[in-house]
Amino acid sequence: MTSSPGLRILMRGEHSVRDDAIHPNAWKVLRRLHGAGHTAYLVGGTVRDLFLGRQPKDFDVATTARPNDIKSLFRNAFMIGRRFRLAHVKFQENIIEVATFRRESDRFEEPEEEGGKGKVLRFYGTPEEDARRRDFTINGLFYDPFLGNVIDYVGGLGDMERRLVRTITPPRQSYEEDPVRMIRAVRAAARLGFAIEAETHESILALRQLIMRCPKARLLEELLILLKYSSAERSLRLLWQVGLMEHLLPIHHAYLVRRNHIPLESARPDVLFDLFSMLDLDPSGVDASVLFALLIFPLHLDQAGIQPALFWQGRMGGGTLTAIEALFNEFATSIDAPKRFRARALEILSVQPRLYLRQSHIRPEKFAHKPYFWDSFRFFQIATRASDLDVTQEIHTWEKFEPKPAPPPRPHGPPAAGGSHVSSPDQHRSRHGRNRRHRRHGPGRPGDPPQNARPETPTTPSSPPVS
């Protein structure tokens, strides 16, 4: 281990990051940058998850290469952003985000100009400056895959050992700069099973109303991420405990208050948390419309005064649907839920009694072809499990109509040493994407297609990811 004021380095063998856990496409990007003479590290949540032995959901790279350099190195790189340009290096399986090391900008400071179309303004920096501008210490780690070193400028390794979520800058300053960081602190604690450090937690309690400054569309995006990755129940409980639910989901805050939950304290058992606990057991994920239906379902039960298990044994009259739609409209006042998701969520709830076959007279094979069937069935599985309703017979029937998964994409050849790509023969087709077939003359052999039949055109694969 190497240590100096503000810097701590764990060398290979002193940490748990495994190189074979790094996605091959991330290796291609890292090696291409390294081979061109640039420093290239894995960064942020990627390093955090690798350090903890978890599978990262994304692989992000930070480098000394400027955006124009990145673009010239990867023909499959697409530049995004205006003030701070990032590169999305697109592969068939995933996208690797590549960013230039940058520093926190001062609003009164003259930025450096980057040549090119539109004259983009950039604030470039060192790895240390890049680490210090990030949100939490556990997200400020770098991994040098060529030396095998984990590099820490911000105290993230200590907080990983103590299992704490802590802001890099003083928490009040951090939240005033970007109030969404309060939601992200909850998300990190919920996903990792960490605690929120005391000052970081107290500042959320004091500044939680700042969340109202954020655009509703951004709050929707953060909420949907919060309810993914098998940590939805803990996320909702933490939102309640730190007071953010009052501003992010005010209709649910009022619901829990009516049910005698005490604000800013640990929440007691409730059907709301039971539903998302069951969702967390399903690793395959669900559509946003199913999440909205799960959020509205306990509110409808409370408003109608019925027990969860009785919901599937009733009928969906016009008055019931109007009441549910009114709940969705109230929900949308704080979260910018698109109409298409709300409409599908309303369909999901409205057809639930039909899925309970003991009291339904529908034809399963016909109903299973409805466009809303699969999302409705996913909700049915989750909600009946949370309600302790025995629907084994129904589950067995409906699972027969589960769509078959698509076959995995055909590989284009193994990566060669150094991260270059070995093209398959299919990748050397003409620019117009088809292999010319010679017209057959004469009657042909038995079993051949008619001469005037259009030959089947093979699908053209995308260009090699890295060239």
Query: Which residues are marked as active site?
Result: 58, 60, 135
- Give CA–CA dist 367/408, Å, rounded: 29
Q: Could you give the residue ranges of the DSSP H alpha helices within 232-317?
A: 232-242, 245-248, 250-258, 271-280, 288-304
Length of the chain: 467
Nearest 5°: CA angle at 443, between 438 and 445?
80
Close Cβ partners of 80 (under 8 Å, ≥ 6 residues apart): 86, 87, 88
Do the strands 120-122 and 141-144 form a parallel or antiparallel pair, or are they unpaired?
unpaired
Does residue 130 contact residue 168 with C-beta atoms inside 8 Å? no
| Cα dihedral 21→26→28→30 (10° resolution) | -100
One DSSP character per residue, 13-60 reads TSS---GGGS-HHHHHHHHHHHHTT--EEEETHHHHHHHTTPPPS--E
- Give CA–CA dist 315/293, Å, rounded: 17
Close Cβ partners of 147 (under 8 Å, ≥ 6 residues apart): 11, 12
Helical (H) or strand (E) element with 321: helix 318-331
- Give CA–CA dist 273/283, Å, rounded: 17
Does residue 355 contact residue 398 with C-beta atoms inside 8 Å? yes
Q: Which of 255, 225, 228 is nearest to 240 (CA)?
A: 255
